[in-house]
Structure 1
């Protein structure tokens, strides 16, 4: 007996990959037309690369100049990457960017406030508006990238806004997939690079309070691969994934790991958080009032300092890499931390990989 669709029976929509053509790879078509917000950011460029190389059409709305986004054009086959100009307050351009897509990924974020954009604007209002538009135009999948540690009662305004953004997205688009990455490390990161930069500028690397907060840093490429897997897997709809590395470190241990990798004799210095906040106040005041871009000292913003009062460890009962069939990299291997060699006094040298000098390092420490 055949069953016909009716009032009490709903035929599930086809998979976003149902129109796939070809054998896979960049020159095929995966069936996915994906709009990526935040494509020029640290994580964004890796996500564009991994989603595009499966043969997906990519629509990349940005608000930067051509020079800042031209590297994304070569991540797909000819005609596969489409770039648009947009603004997070312009509903018309947001709608235009998503109305032809069956998948939307949002990675827009801001770790400090400026005169033009507050945490509320970037982390709450825009995700809510985007989710509402996606629901209105019939987008099939929405992937919203938040942050591990997003909580309504967090001391950091950044993490409070991230939690509010998650709630707003869930309300407007219940089947959205929430991704909560831990502290992400990689060439362009604003985590381990901070220790390296401070080692070159200051007599010692400042550590807030005792540096005993716990972290599970994760390699940026692993997070991008996980997001690609989520995009292709319909069963991830409506779920929340916490993407963290395999090992837990204290903040102090991570700083010392960086100092060892860059082979410096400098050490760490423990600075009370109230002193760091006092040092950050003048810069925070200027950021909210000066009408032109200002250089932002890494590690010297109020949101960064407040964030050091909490642990950022994956919950045991939450979904993660293992549920996506992915084994994350160990960040201590030479491949992941290789970018920190740029902070060495001698810079990069042929045959100077970290894993090739264990014996020499042991002799120097002795």
Structure 2
């Protein structure tokens, strides 16, 4: 892809949360297209490997919290564009609001004051003020506060994101590797998984001036129920297991325990959100709007799920 802002020289792009799953892909794409990428992370020392990304651009690292105005000001000083990828899914509603909503507002405000011209905010399919889950409501509130500050901000709403280090397919493949049964939560809820490289490419293309104000829902070509996705996990990982449907009342009881454990493997909020399909809505702008033809599950997932238990665990924790 050509450089951003056709006709201009090397540009600076700040990526908040650039060390995360989607962020790492986006940073590599920005470096490859010749830009200076300023990565804001709470633990920059852990992501120094991104400095080796190939391309004519380069990477700078700054310790940054979306709730710290001074750190955001340093991150945004002299940059042309910002992509905010920071988001948490936690049973702690106060933390959810502080990071997903207040953090989104503060980042947008400080970017606007710094004179940033192009702003992309990562949201999620299912973002709605009437969502059954607090996470979905927090993402909708974040969209609203960002657009209050940047009316032409670009919003990107992906479905479940997959890729080598994802926390969805790797988790269920690891469960299948360790257990004779694979639980199926909300088996009739539909999802539209999207490849991490396609999401990163969408964020990159949204920075183009002609995409100002655009809201894009990012889904892949496959629309599958949760039960179909679990069957796919077994096929892709080469394992035969019993698919065990979990009633919602049981899922909520399990979540009550699991959300208290490190990592929050399952929360009551997630169970609530599983009651709603997570697919691109009719009439929405899509990846195709940006000229992206998304990769299918079958093209990517079998290549990283068919491995040892240790490999799956490393990928899940990456």
TM-score exceeds 0.5: yes
Matched, 1:323 2:300: no
Taking the aligned partners of 1:219 and 1:92, their CA distance within structure 2 comes to: 34
Taking the aligned partners of 1:242 and 1:185, their CA distance within structure 2 comes to: 15
Taking the aligned partners of 2:176 and 2:77, their CA distance within structure 1 comes to: 47
> What count of residue pairs does the alignment treat as equivalent?
309
Taking the aligned partners of 1:314 and 1:154, their CA distance within structure 2 comes to: 15
Matched, 1:249 2:224: yes
Q: Which residue matches 1:181?
A: 158
| CA distance 1:226–1:281, change in 2 (3 Å) | same
| CA distance 1:273–1:201, change in 2 (3 Å) | farther
Q: Which residue matches 1:81?
A: 59
Taking the aligned partners of 1:17 and 1:61, their CA distance within structure 2 comes to: 25
Taking the aligned partners of 1:148 and 1:128, their CA distance within structure 2 comes to: 19
Q: Which residue matches 2:263?
A: 296
Matched, 1:134 2:111: yes
Identify unmatched segments of 5+ residues in structure 2.
Answer: 313-318
Spell out the pairing of 1:48-67 with structure 2 (5 A cutoff). 48-64=27-43, 66=45
Matched, 1:107 2:82: no
Shift of 1:76: 5.1
Q: Which of 19, 23, 33 is the matching residue for 2:8? A: 19
Spell out the pairing of 1:183-222 with structure 2 (5 A cutoff). 183-209=160-186, 211-222=187-198
| CA distance 1:127–1:181, change in 2 (3 Å) | same
Q: Which of 134, 143, 156 is the matching residue for 1:166? A: 143
Shift of 1:100: 1.1
Identify unmatched segments of 5+ residues in structure 1.
Answer: 1-14, 21-28, 287-293, 348-366
Q: RMSD of the alignment, in Å?
A: 2.2
TM-score after normalising by structure 2: 0.91
Higher Cα Rg, which structure: 1
Matched, 1:267 2:238: no
Q: Which has the higher contact order (CA 8 A, sep 6+)?
A: 2
